[in-house]
Amino acid sequence: FPHPPADAAVGRTADGEFSTYAGCKWFRQLPLSQKTKDGLKPKYVEMSDIQRASLPHSLCGRDVLGAAKTGSGKTLAFIIPVIEKLYRLRWGVHDGVGSIIISPTKELAGQLFQELRTVGKHHTLSAGLLIGGRKDVETEKERVNSMNILICTPGRLLQHMDETPNFDCSQLQVLVLDEADRILDAGFRKELDAIISQLPKKRQTLLFSATQTKSVKDLARLSLKDPEYISVHAES
Ligand code: ADP
Ligand code: MG
């Protein structure tokens, strides 16, 4: 009986292991780095429903399309797997851009950045906020290649892809689209297609939004591999 490949050991064939985490209620029960566990405390102790449902999948590298209403804690559902993936790969400053997180608005991108700073404060990963309207685009261009995690609006990311010399996302490990349905509604679809066409195909992709609309599924078809569809509805 052949052994499963090394990748599969932490993925689909590890159903026994996966089900261990599927029943988890607390962050401390997950196989997270101590640095992340320390970053979550004291604010984050018990997982929200979308976090409980998605983290066991996303942490073992699967693509996820997650839907849960606003305020349900979707941010941590992608920030944690991004940090853990790069930490496990011992990602450092010379490895460049390891993850891109796309948000529909500057304001939301700013909030994601703050959350990343909080939860990732014990890690040495670098992060940059690339949003339109900031004046220091030239400084940004010099620094962007030394950032490990980019949080950006579609327009600004595309601007760097087009204008920044040596902008390199060839080592990208995880792509996140937050508020994926809004990104499509806002007419970002063309920009997104242009962005996605410049990203390596071998990567993990996480899509989160408030609703699982058809258009999100269209997007998923473009960029996700055999994704887990996770939909959490409030029951009360
Ligand atoms: P969404 O993106 O689904 O709208 P957010 O990620 O912005 O939700 O989270 C909404 C609020 O819930 C934030 O203030 C966040 O700090 C808080 N929150 C998220 N997860 C947890 C958790 N596991 N325990 C306590 N508070 C949480
Ligand atoms: Mg959100």
| Domain coordinates in residue numbering, the chain | 17-232
Our answer on whether the CB atom of 170 is closer than 6 Å to any ligand 1 atom is no
Determine if the pTM surpasses 0.95: no
Our answer on whether the CB atom of 204 is closer than 6 Å to any ligand 1 atom is no
Dihedral over Cα of 51, 56, 57, 60: its sign: positive
For ligand 1, atom 5, name the residue with the nearest CA.
73
Contact criterion met (CB below 8 Å) for 121 and 193: no
Distance 109 CA to ligand 1 centre (A): 15
Burial class (CB in 10 A: 0-12, 13-18, 19+), 213: middle
Q: Say yes or no to pLDDT of 132 above 90.
A: no
ipTM above 0.90, yes or no: yes
* Least confident segment among 133-137, 219-223, 230-234: 219-223
Q: Say yes or no to pLDDT of 15 above 50.
A: no
Distance 110 CA to ligand 2 centre (A): 11
**Whether domain 17-232 has CATH 3.40.50.300:** yes
For ligand 1, atom 17, name the residue with the nearest CA.
73
Q: Is the peptide bond before 42 cis (omega within 30 degrees of 0)?
A: yes
Mean pLDDT across 158-165: 92
Contact criterion met (CB below 8 Å) for 127 and 151: yes
